[in-house]
Chain A
């Protein structure tokens, strides 16, 4: 360790645990390369976000690096062919996901040539930053630390020099996993180029590389590579989960990113070391994300790291590691703290697969029967977020989600440190996952219910409005029709032939015409009355005071006067509405009267 490292202060976070590292097993051999597998199965769901849109069909010949599915929506990542060959299937298959559910996959039958498409390196030093970031959409690069968040999203704030510091996450705190360790040992120079690219994309001036002190070879390698640069290798003490982005930022900078902010809000961005390298390969070499380093360890004959193309079936990889030992029961993806049981041993390797552990009862004993919580608070001592896991457990268990929220359940990073130290062997993280998913589901249900209620209220209001409009229109039309009738009647007086009925031509219509005239006048009077009523109603809300005492009327008048003096407006909307209704009623009455008056004319005309 050089002087610079010793000078760098490290800011410890609360809690943390020291699980047995078990990293030495898989670092004895260099990163291995695999022969081409017999088939490549590429799940569309390999990242956080939307499923990409398929751009190929069964039967298509594809080249290595060819886009198979493009990013759909903002948060999404592209999928590329990881070798040349033929698309033989686009169908649902079991993917390496805790749910164990099948999902859409593209299957390629490799032709063995492994032929590249024309690669398009970019002159990233001289290209506009926004163009570079936009081009990342087709890179397929996601966070290779295991979070698999599409990288272009993390870079969207770039080019504005709001980000001053890039933190390269090379802590690799989970036991067993050594893929970043080996990457740093063997490819430090490429990582350095990747840092340069990333710096350009972020506009970050300062770069810190955080590595746990249990990786001396990687530290030496990175220190050699960063010599004579301003890039700082910060050696952090081995303490799980130092590789959590927020914990690492705290360790190397002493900065606590507020719970409701992102690192970019405080001028920082954190990238996993493998992601940084992938950025170099994309911009400098024109290669999209096609492979990653995977640690194969645990109950296998020869634990080792391999560079694995995405879509490589797991058995192919296990075979390369000398095969699984006979008592292997199943495989775990990820580390022993946060990993999950693979639902099937034939799943393909995806972008998230940093580590595959062959498991056996000897390696990981089946969990003992959970005992009641004795509130010893060891979990609280271990929690890197300084939560109170014993309280959260209680709230989650009793479905007291409101309290769980109050106790910051959603700040839980599910690192498993609490379960790791629990003397009652309670699967605490599972309780938190349950509570989180329940709260999210409840929130969604509540939102949906709110929306439905709003929609229904809106619908009822609309129906009511339409009803009134219809009534009003109807009344108007009726009034218009009556006028028309009146006109016709007048016409009929002059020419004793009714247009409507030719038979009427020969009949005397005088009396009928008189009636029509009268009706028209009556209707006009009614309309005038209605208009007057409406005008009155607008000015004054209707009061049901016809049968009240004089004293009460007086009181009401006084109140009105006071209100007016105080400048309180009368409920104009209601008054207007009622006036309209009143007017409509009056119009309808008038129309009816007119129609009835017009009738005899017609009958008489017959």
Chain B
């Protein structure tokens, strides 16, 4: 009987997913340092919701619960979604988003390996469309906020929406750099003067740029561990740098610098953790380049011309639709065949 090969050197799916979670840790630490510990609450809520929803759906679909729950793929989805939404959102927001991501975007399509769209991005898009006000209410970086909330205060705010008596909501929230830039540009200010505002840092937003750098480090770890190939992050960051440079060189007064785009919003998270989801992405090396470049271009266009401050989620979902097409037309040359 043929059973060969009898040997394997592949890490199981669970170990791949575990390394992805590990690679997110530096980003989370930076996140806590910048925005406070509230994000831990969001992550915990998201993880619990994801695991429960996954287990329930597996049960309903009469699939083995244990092996699929232990592959950590639901946890990765939960963490990505938790890191993408504002950290001081009410508890039900992350629960609704996670439920949608796991139940609809993942399990209803057949579970692990069968979802055509990135579940975390579907969850994010649903929240952004349904609750736009909440989804754009980001806390100010702790170092910029007039009042700093303790972890207990953040916990209380997430679950009850109540702030300490002397604190006003405006005092703890602030526009994100991308958002601020967008609104200020519509007021005919130029980029140089806009970025003088205290919320801007060296490259991106003050504080949040460190989170971006931490994601970058985590991503490099994934690349070093051969969990992700260089194609996707390189093409995404490269294309984003190129398109933002083009616009910036033409009119630096109206378009932000490539550095700003690379280190603002979800750029780094997207480059190393979101578009690298293998299930909903392309498989051919060339296809990965096209896919990532497409996400970068659409993200940029939404940021500059679209109705939302950041465009990663919609860009990823749009490019997910194109994956079968991309894969079909980027088949590499087979050994011994003409192209």
Residues of A within 8 A of B (CB): 13-14, 17-20, 98, 100, 175, 246, 250, 256-259, 332, 334-341, 343, 359, 364, 367-369, 371-378, 380-381, 384-388, 390-391, 407-408, 411, 416, 419-425, 427, 429-430, 433
Contact = CB atoms under 8 A, between A and B. Distances in A.
A259 B334 contact: yes
Contact of B2 (A257, A368, A429): A429
Contacts of A18: 9
A390 B335 contact: no
Interface residues of B, number: 38
Interface in B243-261: none
Nearest to A260: B336
17 contacts: A13-B335, A259-B334, A337-B6, A338-B4, A359-B6, A375-B113, A375-B279, A375-B281, A375-B283, A386-B334, A388-B332, A390-B283, A411-B335, A420-B5, A420-B9, A423-B10, A424-B13
Contacts of A429: 2, 4-5
Contacts of B1: 98, 100, 340-341, 343
A226 B279 CA distance: 52
A374 B283 contact: no
Contact of A375 (B2, B278, B338): B278
Contact of A387 (B11, B15, B334): B334
A105 B107 CA distance: 55
A387 B332 CA distance: 8
A376 B337 contact: no
Nearest to A377: B283
B118 to A, nearest CB: 12
A35 to B, nearest CB: 31
User: Could you tell me the dominant secondary structure of chain B's interface residues?
Assistant: loop
Given A369-B67, A374-B278, A391-B283, A411 B2 contact: no
B333 interface: yes
B8 A425 contact: yes
B4 A14 contact: no
A340 B3 CA distance: 6
A420 B7 contact: yes
Nearest to A259: B336
Counting chain B CB atoms within 10 Å of each CB, which of A18, A334, A378 scores highest? A378
A331 to B, nearest CB: 12
A289 to B, nearest CB: 26
B258 to A, nearest CB: 29
A340 B283 contact: no
Given A391-B327, A429-B2, 8 more contacts: A13-B335, A338-B4, A343-B1, A373-B113, A374-B113, A377-B284, A416-B4, A425-B8
Given A332-B6, A337-B7, A388 B284 contact: yes
Given A259-B337, A341-B1, A386-B332, A371 B13 contact: yes
A17 B6 CA distance: 14
B112 interface: yes
A385 B335 CA distance: 5
Closest 5 CB pairs of A and B: A372-B113, A259-B336, A416-B5, A364-B6, A377-B283
B114 interface: yes
B5 A376 contact: no
B16 interface: yes
Contacts of A339: 4, 6
B327 A423 contact: no
A359 B5 CA distance: 13
Interface string B97-121: 0000000000000011110000000
Nearest to A421: B10
Nearest to B63: A372
Contacts of A250: 335
A408 B16 contact: no
Contacts of A334: 4
Contact of B5 (A337, A377, A386): A337
A259 B338 CA distance: 9
B224 interface: no
Contacts of B332: 386, 388
Interface string B108-138: 0001111000000000000000000000000
B325 to A, nearest CB: 14
B190 interface: no
B179 interface: no
A357 to B, nearest CB: 8
A445 to B, nearest CB: 23
Given A336-B5, A339-B4, A385 B11 contact: no
Contacts of B279: 374-375
Contacts of B11: 423
Contact of A419 (B8, B114, B327): B8
Contacts of A246: 335-336
A370 to B, nearest CB: 10
Contacts of A17: 9
Contacts of A369: 67
A335 B5 CA distance: 8
Contacts of A338: 4-5
B69 to A, nearest CB: 12
Given A372-B114, A411-B335, A380 B284 contact: yes
B2 A372 contact: no
A258 B5 CA distance: 27
Nearest to B278: A376
A427 B3 contact: yes
B112 A422 contact: no
Given A372-B111, A420-B9, A386 B3 contact: no
Interface in B25-41: none
B9 A411 contact: no
Nearest to B112: A372
Given A98-B2, A371-B112, A336 B283 contact: no
B4 to A, nearest CB: 5
A422 B337 contact: no
A508 to B, nearest CB: 96
B230 to A, nearest CB: 12
A411 B4 contact: no
Contacts of B12: 368, 371, 423, 425
Contacts of B6: 332, 336-337, 339, 359, 364
Contacts of B15: 423
A477 to B, nearest CB: 66
Counting chain A CB atoms within 10 Å of each CB, which of B10, B67, B278 scores highest? B10
A336 B7 contact: yes
A373 to B, nearest CB: 5
Contacts of B337: 258-259, 408, 411
Contacts of A385: 334-336
A12 B181 CA distance: 50
A406 to B, nearest CB: 9
B288 to A, nearest CB: 9
